Amino acid sequence: MTLVKKLRWVALAAIPVLFIGAFFYWPLIKIFSHALGGEEIEDFKSLLFSGSFHQIAWFTVWQAFLSTVLTMVLALPTAYLMARYSFRGRRIFQIVTTVPFVLPTVVVAGAFTALFERFGLDEGAFRLRHTVWALLAAHVFFNLAIAIRTVSSFWSGLDPRIEEQAKLLGATPWHIFRKITFPRLIPVLAAASSIVFLFCLTSFGVVLLLAGPTRATIETEIWRQAIWRGDIATASSLAVIQLVAVLAMVLLMNYLQRRQAVVENRMDFVYEKAPRKLFAGNIFLLFVMIGLPIIILFESSLTVGDGYSFQNFASLADRVTLVPVSAITALKNSLLFAFVATIFASLLGCIASFVVVHGRRWVSNLFDIGMMFPLGISAVVLGFGMLISLDAPPLDLRSSWILVPIAHSLLGIPFVMRAVIPTLRRIDPSLRESATLLGASPRQVSRHIDFPIALRALSVGAAFAFAISIGEFGATSFLPRNPDRLTAPLVLFRLLGAPGETLRGQAMALAVVLMTITALAVILVEGSFFKKETIRSDF
User: Under the rule (CB under 8 A), what is the footprint of another protein?
Assistant: 15, 34, 106, 109-110, 113-114, 117, 208-209, 212-214, 224, 226-230, 232, 304-305, 311, 320-324, 340, 343-344, 347, 350, 384, 387-388, 391-400, 402, 477-478, 480-483, 486, 490, 493-494, 496-505
Residue number with CB closer to another protein (102 or 341): 341
Rounded distance between C-alpha atoms, residue 464 and residue 336, angstroms: 16
Rounded distance between C-alpha atoms, residue 19 and residue 15, angstroms: 6
**Least distance to another protein from the beta carbon of 511, Å?**
13
Residue number with CB closer to another protein (188 or 226): 226
**Least distance to another protein from the beta carbon of 19, Å?**
9
Rounded distance between C-alpha atoms, residue 412 and residue 391, angstroms: 24
Supply the DSSP symbol for 318.
S
Cβ–Cβ under 8 Å, residues 156 and 264 = no
Going by C-alpha positions, the residue among 289, 259, 140 that lies closest to residue 190 is 259
**Least distance to another protein from the beta carbon of 379, Å?**
11
**Least distance to another protein from the beta carbon of 95, Å?**
28
**Least distance to another protein from the beta carbon of 489, Å?**
12
Residue number with CB closer to another protein (163 or 221): 221
**Least distance to another protein from the beta carbon of 57, Å?**
18
Residue number with CB closer to another protein (172 or 309): 309
**Least distance to another protein from the beta carbon of 324, Å?**
5
**Least distance to another protein from the beta carbon of 480, Å?**
5
Cβ–Cβ under 8 Å, residues 190 and 260 = yes
Cβ–Cβ under 8 Å, residues 356 and 258 = no
Cβ–Cβ under 8 Å, residues 506 and 481 = no
Rounded distance between C-alpha atoms, residue 352 and residue 335, angstroms: 25
Cβ–Cβ under 8 Å, residues 232 and 384 = yes
Residue number with CB closer to another protein (75 or 454): 454
Phi, psi of 270 (to 5 degrees): -80, 130
Amino acid at 445: V
Residue number with CB closer to another protein (63 or 71): 63
Residue number with CB closer to another protein (114 or 292): 114
Q: What is the number of alpha carbons within 13 Å of residue 216 lying toward its C-beta?
A: 15
Amino acid at 381: V
Residue number with CB closer to another protein (37 or 480): 480
Q: How many CB atoms lie within 10 A of CB 332?
A: 14
Residue number with CB closer to another protein (100 or 383): 383
- What is the rounded radius of gyration, in angstroms, for the C-alpha atoms of the chain? 24
Residue number with CB closer to another protein (139 or 481): 481
Rounded distance between C-alpha atoms, residue 481 and residue 255, angstroms: 40
Q: Between vectors from CA 38 to CA 35 and to CA 42, what angle results, nearest 5°? A: 95
**Least distance to another protein from the beta carbon of 321, Å?**
6
Biggest alpha carbon–alpha carbon distance for the chain: 75
Q: CB-based contacts of 507: which residues, under 8 Å, 6+ apart?
A: 107, 492, 495, 496
**Least distance to another protein from the beta carbon of 96, Å?**
26
Give Cα separations from 108 to 92, 104, 308, 368, 398 (angstroms).
21, 7, 21, 31, 30
